Chains A and B, each alone.
Chain A
């Protein structure tokens, strides 16, 4: 049976997390179909059709699908669910919001944030903030799962030639209404897909220091900026910078943790980075137990030195 992947998008561009979810779907084996549900999202459907390994794109277009409201988006997935043995979505805020609603209506369990596909019924997923890995098997007729994007290398965004099939939009459930959106302005690479991440914690001391010290370093490296929960709660940066169990999960090539102690909650969000660098004045900080390279010292002198040394 074919596999349905719910495409993540903002009606203009296809979110790269979709490519990681398609990669997970390919591990299961079978035709991969992408569902693009939105409003005025023709360009997204076009981009979806070019994704390597996608056999078909289902495109539903209606005003009630514009803002990915859970009730309407779940109804759209359910409208086509009968054709599929697996339904996947990237474990983004949208995927996490919508897919359990789909699963419950189908009376099946959901497997959250899979990090490996062992076979069509068996998956691996982290539990206890990533301190254990559970291998679970589903006996349900339909497997519904969200995919942790950092665990699967993305498929190529180009090279596919899928057909685009327009499908009728599910009716507006009329239960919820989109009001407004407040987007954090990003002038840097996006956190979850960045090759290098520079991340700051409570050690920075203030939002001003965060900008003054870490931004030049991030600019020099072409890196995304992240933060620990402590830095977010202290108001240094907005909460969508937060990396950890309850924030974003990143797995960049290089992760530089500045003034971050390394609580379990934070480590859950970044310990799959290829190389971890820790800069902290406390030699006992738990971050040093996962760091490949550690510098013990004052971040207020070490970070500017690092910026200078990078030339």
Chain B
């Protein structure tokens, strides 16, 4: 079984981001970039499926600027077999990425596509569902457990109020939630080996996809700041403040 894993290069989750003074966006020019945390979980799950003998080949894909090769190399070092970069300097919104991935699904014919449930930069939580729709595949989103057997994926999903188990026929799209697994660390010898693994580069035009953004960002602003609070000496003062000042009790 072939697995396609989509990964995104994002501002590292530890970075405290700043809005640009002209409000045109977020200043990411010098920020540390990494693989989106949910996508690390997606790569890990694919590698585990290969180690278990369920998967035969793992293809990792990233869409974006040339530097996305770095996260693809990381995925190769983690155990992916080959990588595809869809290179574009334009802003790629989820619908565009879903269409690019659909074009690659048509070429590669994977039995399973794994994505993170959302990217921590745009927080959209759309691409996996959109790809599933475009490819006519079932979807299992927010997965915290994945079992593959008899041409089906049985997936435990994290939903409001608890967990839900569904079974989807393959080929299918799965998006990962945080508790699906604990991603491994990259080992140095594997980084060296990853350098010799194949990495193909496509343009969006080669895949025949119009990636023009559909949503225009008019401005990006700082959220309203909370006014500084006070430290209280004891519990009694706290209860008084909550009752008389804040009036929430």
Contacts and interface: CB of A to CB of B under 8 A. Distances in A.
A140 interface: yes
B95 A229 contact: no
B238 interface: yes
Identify the interface centre among B129, B172, B231: most chain A CB within 10 Å of its CB.
B129
Contacts of A80: none
Interface in B168-224: 168-169, 172, 177-179, 214-223
Interface residue SS majority, chain B: mixed
B204 to A, nearest CB: 16
A183 to B, nearest CB: 4
Contact of A245 (B120, B214, B222, B248): B120
Contacts of B239: 306, 309-310
A101 B11 contact: no
Contacts, number: 244
B95 A104 contact: yes
Interface in A227-257: 229, 233, 238-240, 245-246, 248, 253-254
A101 B133 CA distance: 5
Interface residues of B, number: 78
B248 to A, nearest CB: 4
Contacts of A173: 138
Contacts of A100: 94, 125-130, 133
Interface in B141-155: 141-142, 144, 154
B137 interface: yes
A293 B232 CA distance: 7
Interface string A279-292: 00001000011111
A112 B232 contact: no
B217 A277 contact: no
B1 interface: no
Contacts of A127: 26, 121-123, 220
A184 B161 contact: yes
A126 interface: yes
A107 B141 CA distance: 20
B25 to A, nearest CB: 8
Contact of A254 (B26, B219, B249): B249
B164 A131 contact: no
B132 A176 contact: no
Nearest to B248: A254
B124 A133 contact: no
B242 A103 contact: no
Contacts of B126: 100, 103, 110, 112
A135 interface: yes
A100 B129 CA distance: 6
B156 to A, nearest CB: 8
Interface of B: 11, 13, 16-17, 19, 26, 93-95, 98, 117-118, 120-134, 137-142, 144, 154, 157-169, 172, 177-179, 214-223, 226, 228-232, 234-236, 238-239, 241-242, 246, 248-249
Given A101-B139, A177-B168, 13 more contacts: A70-B138, A70-B139, A93-B158, A112-B125, A132-B223, A135-B218, A136-B218, A181-B162, A233-B178, A239-B144, A240-B161, A294-B231, A296-B231
